[in-house]
């Protein structure tokens, strides 16, 4: 028998934050760009990589589809 008061959904708490897109910045929708504005600013504010397909820049490889490392200054 299940203990009374025990919630089945415990463990997967929703933090009130929207899910982080797990795909390249290059493929974010207009909606995602707006929804994850904060994340977006973090990604592009100190870029270390560039996408040679789209011209986008990011701080991590995973955000770009055709990654090339930016030359260090
Ligand atoms: Zn790209």
Identify the pLDDT of residue 6. 56
Q: Is 60 exceeded by the pLDDT of residue 7?
A: no
The answer as to whether 9 is a domain residue is no
Region 33-52 average pLDDT: 96
Residue 38 pLDDT: 95
**Domain around 65:** 25-69
Q: Ligand 1 centroid to 34 CA: how many Å?
A: 18
pLDDT at 21 over 60: yes
Q: Are 66 and 51 in contact (CB under 8 A)?
A: yes
Q: Looking at the domain assignment, is residue 19 inside a domain? A: no
The contacts of residue 42 (CB under 8 Å, 6+ apart) are 59
DSSP 20-67: PP-S-GGG--HHHHHHTHHHHHHHHHS--EEETTT--EESSGGG-SSE
- How many A from CA of 21 to the centre of ligand 1? 15
- 18: in domain: no
Q: Report the separation in Å between the CA atom of 9 and the middle of ligand 1, taken as the mean of its atom positions.
A: 37
Average pLDDT in the chain: 85
């Amino acid at each position: 028998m299940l203990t009374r008061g025990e919630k089945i959904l415990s463990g997967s708490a929703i933090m009130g934050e929207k899910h982080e897109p797990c795909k390249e910045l290059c493929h974010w929708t207009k909606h995602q760009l707006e929804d994850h504005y904060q994340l977006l600013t973090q990604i592009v504010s100190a870029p270390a990589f560039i996408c040679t397909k789209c011209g986008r820049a990011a701080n991590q490889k995973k955000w770009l589809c055709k990654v090339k490392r930016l030359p260090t200054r």
